[in-house]
Amino acid sequence: MYITDDNDGLKTKIALPVYVNYGRIEDFEELEKLGINVSGKICIARYGKLYRGNKVENAQIRGAVGVVLFSDPSEVARNGTEPQNVFPNSWWVPGTAIQRGNIKLVKGDPVTPNYPSVDGAFRYKPEEVNIPRIPCQPIGYNDAWNILKLMDGQAVPDNWKGLLNITYRYGPGFKPENRARKLRLVVNNEYTSKVIYNVIGVIRGMVEPDRYVLVGNHRDAWSHGAVDPSSGTSQLLELTRVMGGLLMDGWRPRRTLVFGSWGAEEFGLIGSTEWVEVCIVTKPCLVNF
């Protein structure tokens, strides 16, 4: 998540919350029809239907000062939120789990758009590139329940309801007994530069070596990555093992095979995007392997 500093040095917003369903354009248009203005508010949106970064972009365009994202049980706990129906007793998501992910609107390193992020490259300032300008924080549905159950305003239609045991309301703000309260959103992410690594394997083609078949998978994960990306990485490694065995037996493919284990995918497809941009500029793939 990319955000700007407030005067206190923290990424802090204090405002009334508004429930915006999935944060789609049509959801904001529905709020506008109802006379609900999200400008200066913190939008509460549930995951689903479109990329999380577009949810933040849609809110930002309409003047919101922050976004809170949550995974509704209707998407991640469809058998119910009771302990026996969620992890570790089931594969459905418990209320304490948080879905993490970047909200960038560009692929690769955002400060080197469409060219490789290598030593000596010109870099734009963060405020000069297309990245979100308002803070965003994901939460679990237990925390979402604690916010949404207090909200005031008209009850939402059925297609805006999830499976939390509350009456979903638009807001803005809280019910009379909590009218003086506001939502405080603090996100302490930092801009920083890090070196990332791609691991590339190549089997040169026999007939058309300058034509490439690319097979790849990212290996970085927000957490342990049991499903994403370790399942894909295990397949990539097994495929390269088999192909390597065939190569040692004298086989060689018609075209060049390139195997890529990409880094920093979770931060916005950085490893794979930057590798392609490097190839376009320096043609490293044309080296005789």
Q: How far apart, in whole angstroms, are the C-alpha atoms of residue 40 and residue 36? A: 12
Please say whether the beta carbons of 137 and 3 come within 8 A: no
Q: How far is CA 180 from CA 68, 150, 183, in A?
A: 20, 12, 10
Say which of 265, 266, 274, 277 is annotated catalytic: 265
Largest Cα separation within the chain, whole Å, is 78
Contact 59, 133 (CB under 8 A): no
- The answer for residues whose C-beta is within 8 angstroms of residue 103's C-beta and 6 or more apart is 1, 2, 52, 53, 55, 56, 132, 136
Q: Please report the DSSP string for 53-96 in residue order.
A: HHHHHHHHHTT-SEEEEE--HHHH-TT-SSGGGSTTSSSSPPTT
Q: Which structure tokens are listed for 76? A: 């991640």
Cis peptide before 135 (omega within 30 of 0): no
Is residue 265 among the annotated active site residues?
Answer: yes
Closest CA to 69 of 135, 172, 145, 139: 139
* Residues acting as catalytic residues: 265
